[in-house]
Structure 1
Amino acid sequence: MASSPSYRVGVDVGGTNTDAVILDVRDANGPKRGILAFCKTPTTAPNVTDGIETAVRTVLEQSVVAPSDIGCLTIGTTHFINAIIEHDARRLAPVAIIRLSKSFLREVPPFSDFPPALAKIMHGYYGYVDGGLHIDGSQESPIVEEQVVKQCAVIREKGIDAIAICGIFSPIDEHFHQEQKVRDIVLREIPGADVVCSSDVSQIGFLERENAAILNASIMKFARRTVRGFRAAMKRLNLNCALYLTQNDGTLIDAPSAARLPIRTFSSGPTNSMRGAAYLAEGTGERTSKIVVDIGGTTSDVGVLLPSGFPRQASAYVSVAGVRINFSMPHLESIGLGGGSIIRVNNDDDKVSVGPDSVGHFLQSKARVFGGDTLTTTDIAVKAKKEEIGNPDLVKDLEENIVSRAQARMKLMLEKVIDQMKTSPAPLPVLLVGGGSVIAPTELEGVSSVVCPPFHSVANAVGAAIAKVGGTVDFIQSSTNKPISEIVEEGKKMAIERAVEVGASRESVYVAEVDAIPLQYVNNNEVRVIVRAVGELSDENVSKMKESNAVESNGDSEEGGDEIYQEADKTQSASTEETTKSSIDINSYKPSVVKSPETGVDEWIISEVDLEWLSDGCYVLGCAGGGSPFSEFLRLRDQVRAGYTMRVVDASSLKDDAIVYWGGHMGSPAVSTERLANDETEQAVVELMEYYGHKKIDAFIDLEIGGGNGLQGLALGSTKNQGCPTIDADFMAYLGRAYPTYWQTTLCAFEEAALVPCAIASGDGKTILMTKTTNDEIVDRALRAACSEMGSRVGMAAKPTTKHAVVNYSVLNTVSLAWRIGRTIACAHATNTISTVAEQMIEECGGPNAAKILFRGKIISVERRLFKGHSHGELVIQQVETSEQEDMSDLPLTPAVASGGVLRIPFKNENIYAKHVSDDGTEKYIATVPDLISVLDTQSGRALGVPEFRYGVMVTVLGITCSPRWTQTKKGLEIGGPAAFGYDIEYKPLGEYKEPRSVVLEYASNS
């Protein structure tokens, strides 16, 4: 660490306390780890800089280090994220969004998934210009300057000066720099505007990246004022050193960059705690992953430190103030256990509960050891003589059995959350930090050691002081002519150079993380490579920052911006769009089934509530595949709000000569995450209608009810599109999406050449018709090859079918089933019965003879690989001890088909079979395709898709018997059974199939 400044001051601003330390990096290996002084002082409001100034002045005075000898001041703060969480209109600006895409993104507009109260503050304007990329890096369309100028005129007229620019696949734009070109035009047309390019903020995943860019743009002006406040405090302290802020990943960002990208600091507090814990405990164990438990007054935050010394990042998406983003954030789990957690004793059975409520910052007045009348975890620690706090005599009458039971409960709570965070069953060391760490036991199950390092109460400030400099690259490249290993090596070199560019000393840089992800269904064998390199802060960079670490004022005052947001504004009522789940009585809710005035047919009119339940139900029936229905749900919900209508009818109501269309999306999930829900399938339907000369269609039936395609019928039938009803059925359902190809459908089990003529459409003007084939399997192979050349995602419309085929070959009432399953999830949340949501689903699926709980346990292993364009792998679930499960003794739990040992579930995009391996090694297949195997998150009751599988998640595995459509013909099992996936396994039905109850028929009498 010789290249780092000699003295560093680290500060962490929390909601309750502001901590500061001064560190001499030359003595990092000494007994005090180089810490010369530390301070913990209350965080001040409304101006947090007062608390920072107090803390820094204190450590300077205690250490007797001259301000001129300080190399840098590093601050970690929750100030920016708090403004968003609090919906603080004085700190947040309205934002205009310019989307770059000629053909996509229109169906799901910006702010679609924002909480209405936050959207009311931030939603300024949005518009579209040509642009965007395909997954291979080619342009969907070039930028047209005149279009951008026109958008700027509208934005300028509205008086908006915070602007987010978001283009499809912009994070991989290495050649055209579309977002940057648009930014330059905007700054020319609107001088002084705060402009954010989404590619500077986050990575692939359009909606989440755009959301992050919007949050960042909204808070930029406040961020500049805050940073100037920090610099003003430094001036009063005579500190003429470099100023840095800590980022979510534990690395540094200089003050000017932090003012431009404040979102990078949103979750720096927990990261600082973990990094500080690792530093303080260095040398106490082998270099391995470690669990860090940060115990405060109310909660315990638990994270994983990788061997690199940096936190494990959250996978997929995280939520900030109810807004989904895919920004790099540490993976944390929090439980209601802290130093102020309230202890309650049930006198009837002597049961002891801990939390989740807490006396919080009133600990020193309400805890019994301080003369209060509330029993807290701190009182238990004092009674157990673990800590000398307050007056021990005030708890001397506390019964020993209460103390032991409370300690046992706290121990179990920590063991459970720690085990959820582990990446393997092997025991790992635990580092305890935070002011409440005194309540934790010294021994924990599944843990190799428990270490409470010195200065643990200010570990967050230590983490800020030792922060490194990082550089990350994320790109997609073809592996056709170059091995993946060579591509990864190129990525490492790029990441190292980027770290050096932002201030790391070259000799200290090392690669901390590498990930190579093959992409499905794309041409040229593209692979996505993500590499992060880190290094020590260089003296050269510190010197440079001393001279130029300033932020342009942009007309703002030097200080200020920390005013408390008026309470009247904070509690403004949400708009009427804040609907559904919180405002309805689930038990009394009835779907709207009315008679059509034109046909006299009973029609189910889909509402927002119905859409929400259908979305959750479709993901359960997707059996881990099919893609999340979330984007499609947003599209359809917005259509309902705009006054469009979607109708569902019973198959029996079709006319004998009805023209029925069917289809859905095919292609790479990575493309879907960028283009969002779009109208490719609608375009394919129109193409096929032109081929047949059909002027209208009578109804649409879903290809599959599982996953995102489960909502396609509603989209096609919406009055915004064909205006036809959707049939309450599908051609794959009780297969659940266990099959990733179009020829593996019930229709193909009964008919030859059931798929052609068919059409596919790319969504940007390209279509293909296929009119003849020798068999259905070749149709899927040919279309997927064309799909790769058309942007790797298309909509498909297959050969129109008939009422006879629908009634005799489809699986009936599957839209109803998805709705009922989604309703059970909503009901379980409303009634706090999530632990029995699987039992509730079983009743909706026909009872215990038709559906069964296969296994309950915890994911202990996930293997993923790519083979011939499909995601393959295996999920391993282990039976957990009774003590690890939730306390559900008063709830009627159905015994699982298998218990003990482990359950193995191979998947090929979707789950294929469930094999139980008992403790003695005996193996038994308890479910196989075509029966459905769905993995539910025990804590939320919702389905887990393949992307969400990860170690430590408590799950319930649900099995549902398939429709006899798959078993009544030899061909059905040939294309839908285990042999279709290369497994020599005899199919044995899980139970007896029971047709789902029709929502249309059940509620028609009430219309």
Structure 2
Amino acid sequence: MYKLGIDVGGTNTDAVLIDEDLAIVAAVKHPTSADITRGIMGAMDAVLEASGVDRTQIKQAMLGTTQCTNAIVERKGLAPIAVLRIGAPATVGIPPMVDWADDIRAVSVAETIIEGGFEYDGKRLAEFDEAACRAFFESVHGKVEAVAISCVFSTVRNDDELRAAAIAAEVLGDAVHVSISSEIGSMGLIERENATILNAALYDVAKRFTEGFAESLADKGVTSADVYLSQNDGTLMTMEYARRYPIFTIACGPTNSIRGASYLSRMDDAIVIDVGGTTTDLGVLAHGFPRESGVAVTIGGVRTNFRMPDVVSIGLGGGSIVREREDGTVSVGPDSVGYAITERALVFGGDTMTATDIAVRLGMAEVGDASLAAGIPEDLALRAMAAIRELVEEGIDVMKVSNDGIDVVLVGGGSIVLPTDLAGTAKVVKPEHSGCANAIGSAISKVSGTYEALVDYDEVPRDEALAAAREAAVEAAVAAGAVRETVEIIDIEDVPLAYYPGHTNRVKAKAAGDLGK
């Protein structure tokens, strides 16, 4: 039995085949094309040819893709939606999408706020206005492909969201996708609502790339594989789940790299530096999984609060363009030749000096024709490397939580441009197959489940609340496809909420287990 992992990056699409013992059978890099599907097909062809395995023995196929992120950033392929907020009269002062740019706000055909919702303690704020809800959905019938529903304090009680979703399905039919905020975001109505709106708008994009991946596998003779998508907590989701929650694929690339780095280095706690062709992502490996961001995250200019990895991106990659200014200083990036590096970089016969050329000139890497970079003055190359070092060391300082040195794992095809004696580190390792860490992370990913609730410890003792959270997280992971015997708690926290009465805490638990064979 084999697993196929594919991860689409801005410069390269990586593919890897691993066996049932998680040993790497073959790993390849293939240039990402403007048409992402062609890049996936090319990478798949290459890894299948390199491995020579019986394609019918590939039983699981995993894809990590940037298509949802690109759709939001580029404002392309988003579905027309309607937005319903349940929270009048308390929330009418700030309408939905109040701070969105016009070009992304255009995804909404109509939006409204109706009465209903709850207080922070679960008491009803106002009675749910079912008539207004039904009238709104009737007004957008035939005009939208998806609906976003949010409700004030729905993370405490989601009764009204569920009722509104049922009405939407009744009025609009099953063909219209419904997103509800209690399943997507955390505390904070506006940011949670924003994430839900983006999730609804991504419905068409998710449908296209999930169906396209399944068709690509069939075209290549991989007909016996269960198909999964990578999500941004370092775990997997089914095709059906991905269509319901496409927003969870955003930033799955860095999380795949972090998981792959952990597997390759056998380290559970470190900073992972993933260097691609255009950007470098720095993330934190905590207990074998990506550290989750604790602050609101902006995606394509939209502020959201759904779960996202704690990642810092800098404009440095193997294809970053190197320039010498008139004052003698040297800049590296943030612009890059991207997937055209094999045409434009000096070592490939091009006319553009890149970070890869600098690494080759200094003897740090063997890529292309080294003689073509020999004309770069050594002094210029050293100053360029100093600029590269400074960019990365600043990123390390941002991710650290103390002054102590921390272990670092270098991965990504562009990691050849980085030195290994970086300030602020205890040790820097670059494991074998590090260039395809993202695809490896996709292939070896587990299945997770998360539980989150507000609990007053005056009413429910802390030990009982945490035990219930652990049990609920395990059940969520099993429901998502994890083998029960392999599920373990990978993170649990309780955070006191000072502005709530009593001893209210936000309790959150996360469990993960192996995917069933």
Residue 41 in structure 1 maps to residue 25 in structure 2: no
Residue 67 in structure 1 maps to residue 55 in structure 2: yes
Task: Tell me which residue corresponds to 2:153.
Answer: 169
Residue 80 in structure 1 maps to residue 65 in structure 2: no
SS at match of 2:216: helix
Residue 269 in structure 1 maps to residue 253 in structure 2: yes
Provide the rounded CA distance (Å) in 2 between the counterparts of 1:60 and 1:389.
24
Change (3 A) 1:410 1:159: closer
- Cα deviation, residue 57, structure 1: 3.3
Q: Which amino acid aligns with 1:276?
A: G
Residue 360 in structure 1 maps to residue 360 in structure 2: no
- Cα deviation, residue 482, structure 1: 3.5
- Cα deviation, residue 22, structure 1: 0.6
- Cα deviation, residue 347, structure 1: 6.3
Change (3 A) 1:358 1:49: closer
Aligned equivalent of 2:363, options 368, 385, 401? 385
Residue 488 in structure 1 maps to residue 435 in structure 2: no
- Cα deviation, residue 416, structure 1: 1.4
CA RMSD of aligned residues (A): 1.9
Residue 313 in structure 1 maps to residue 292 in structure 2: yes
- Cα deviation, residue 333, structure 1: 1.3
Task: Tell me which residue corresponds to 1:183.
Answer: 165
Provide the rounded CA distance (Å) in 2 between the counterparts of 1:232 and 1:196.
26
Provide the rounded CA distance (Å) in 2 between the counterparts of 1:469 and 1:370.
41
SS at match of 1:297: coil
Provide the rounded CA distance (Å) in 2 between the counterparts of 1:481 and 1:473.
19
Provide the rounded CA distance (Å) in 2 between the counterparts of 1:186 and 1:388.
59
- Cα deviation, residue 502, structure 1: 1.1
SS at match of 1:227: helix
- Cα deviation, residue 441, structure 1: 0.5
Provide the rounded CA distance (Å) in 1 between the counterparts of 2:217 and 2:301.
35
The CA deviation string for residues 212-271 of structure 1, in whole angstroms up to 9 with x for no partner, is 111111121332232122221222223222111010111111001101111111111111
Aligned equivalent of 2:434, options 444, 448, 456? 456
Task: Tell me which residue corresponds to 2:201.
Answer: 218
SS at match of 1:276: helix
Change (3 A) 1:352 1:165: closer
Provide the rounded CA distance (Å) in 2 between the counterparts of 1:372 and 1:224.
39
- Cα deviation, residue 346, structure 1: 4.8
The CA deviation string for residues 447-467 of structure 1, in whole angstroms up to 9 with x for no partner, is 111111111111111111011
Provide the rounded CA distance (Å) in 2 between the counterparts of 1:367 and 1:516.
50
Task: Tell me which residue corresponds to 2:389.
Answer: 411
Contact 1:484 1:527 in 2 (8 A): no
Change (3 A) 1:184 1:301: same
* 259-268 or 375-384, larger mean C-alpha shift: 375-384
Provide the rounded CA distance (Å) in 2 between the counterparts of 1:111 and 1:231.
34
Provide the rounded CA distance (Å) in 1 between the counterparts of 2:472 and 2:34.
43
Task: Tell me which residue corresponds to 1:324.
Answer: 303
Contact 2:10 2:339 in 1 (8 A): no
Task: Write the mapping of 1:913-924 to structure 2, written as runs, cut at 5 A.
Answer: none
Provide the rounded CA distance (Å) in 1 between the counterparts of 2:144 and 2:330.
56
Task: Tell me which residue corresponds to 2:449.
Answer: 471
- Cα deviation, residue 338, structure 1: 1.8
The CA deviation string for residues 840-879 of structure 1, in whole angstroms up to 9 with x for no partner, is xxxxxxxxxxxxxxxxxxxxxxxxxxxxxxxxxxxxxxxx
Provide the rounded CA distance (Å) in 1 between the counterparts of 2:14 and 2:163.
42
SS at match of 1:530: strand
Provide the rounded CA distance (Å) in 1 between the counterparts of 2:39 and 2:380.
39
Contact 1:514 1:530 in 2 (8 A): yes
Task: Write the mapping of 1:188-207 to structure 2, written as runs, cut at 5 A.
Answer: 188-191=170-173, 192-207=175-190
- Cα deviation, residue 54, structure 1: 3.0
SS at match of 2:201: helix
Contact 1:234 1:240 in 2 (8 A): no
Task: Write the mapping of 1:101-180 to structure 2, written as runs, cut at 5 A.
Answer: 101-120=87-106, 122-156=107-141, 159-173=143-157, 177-180=159-162
Structure 2 residue runs without a partner (length 5+): none
Provide the rounded CA distance (Å) in 2 between the counterparts of 1:101 and 1:22.
49
Which aligned segments of 4 or more residues in structure 1 are displaced greater than 6 angstroms?
A: none
Q: Which amino acid aligns with 2:159?
A: H
- Cα deviation, residue 135, structure 1: 0.9
Change (3 A) 1:538 1:443: same
Task: Tell me which residue corresponds to 2:7.
Answer: 12
Provide the rounded CA distance (Å) in 2 between the counterparts of 1:516 and 1:134.
21
The CA deviation string for residues 636-663 of structure 1, in whole angstroms up to 9 with x for no partner, is xxxxxxxxxxxxxxxxxxxxxxxxxxxx
Contact 2:11 2:277 in 1 (8 A): no
Count matched residues.
515
Task: Tell me which residue corresponds to 2:283.
Answer: 303
Residue 25 in structure 1 maps to residue 20 in structure 2: yes
SS at match of 1:436: helix
Provide the rounded CA distance (Å) in 1 between the counterparts of 2:326 and 2:152.
61
Provide the rounded CA distance (Å) in 1 between the counterparts of 2:69 and 2:482.
27
Provide the rounded CA distance (Å) in 2 between the counterparts of 1:161 and 1:100.
20
SS at match of 1:73: strand
Q: What is the percentage of aligned positions where both structures have the same residue? A: 40
Structure 1 residue runs without a partner (length 5+): 1-5, 29-33, 540-1007
Change (3 A) 1:235 1:374: closer
Task: Write the mapping of 1:643-654 to structure 2, written as runs, cut at 5 A.
Answer: none
Change (3 A) 1:371 1:69: closer
Q: Which amino acid aligns with 2:51?
A: S
Change (3 A) 1:61 1:127: same
Q: Which amino acid aligns with 2:317?
A: G
Task: Tell me which residue corresponds to 1:780.
Answer: none
Provide the rounded CA distance (Å) in 1 between the counterparts of 2:341 and 2:330.
20
Provide the rounded CA distance (Å) in 2 between the counterparts of 1:360 and 1:388.
19
Contact 2:11 2:276 in 1 (8 A): no
Provide the rounded CA distance (Å) in 1 between the counterparts of 2:156 and 2:224.
39
Q: Which amino acid aligns with 2:485?
A: E
Task: Write the mapping of 1:959-974 to structure 2, written as runs, cut at 5 A.
Answer: none
Provide the rounded CA distance (Å) in 2 between the counterparts of 1:128 and 1:397.
65
Q: Which amino acid aligns with 1:501?
A: A
Change (3 A) 1:16 1:372: closer
Higher relative contact order (CA 8 A, sep 6+): 2
Contact 1:111 1:123 in 2 (8 A): no
Contact 1:77 1:265 in 2 (8 A): yes
- Cα deviation, residue 373, structure 1: 4.0
Contact 1:371 1:394 in 2 (8 A): yes
The CA deviation string for residues 530-580 of structure 1, in whole angstroms up to 9 with x for no partner, is 1111111123xxxxxxxxxxxxxxxxxxxxxxxxxxxxxxxxxxxxxxxxx
Contact 2:33 2:339 in 1 (8 A): no
Larger radius of gyration: 1
Task: Write the mapping of 1:402-801 to structure 2, written as runs, cut at 5 A.
Answer: 402-539=380-517
Q: Which amino acid aligns with 2:112?
A: G
Provide the rounded CA distance (Å) in 1 between the counterparts of 2:353 and 2:138.
63
Contact 2:11 2:278 in 1 (8 A): no
Task: Tell me which residue corresponds to 2:320.
Answer: 341
Residue 99 in structure 1 maps to residue 85 in structure 2: yes
Q: Which amino acid aligns with 2:506?
A: R
TM-score (norm 1): 0.50
Change (3 A) 1:141 1:373: same
Q: Which amino acid aligns with 1:530?
A: K
Change (3 A) 1:291 1:79: same
Q: Which amino acid aligns with 1:41?
A: H
SS at match of 2:290: coil
Residue 254 in structure 1 maps to residue 220 in structure 2: no
Contact 1:172 1:474 in 2 (8 A): no
Change (3 A) 1:371 1:59: closer
Provide the rounded CA distance (Å) in 1 between the counterparts of 2:230 and 2:375.
47
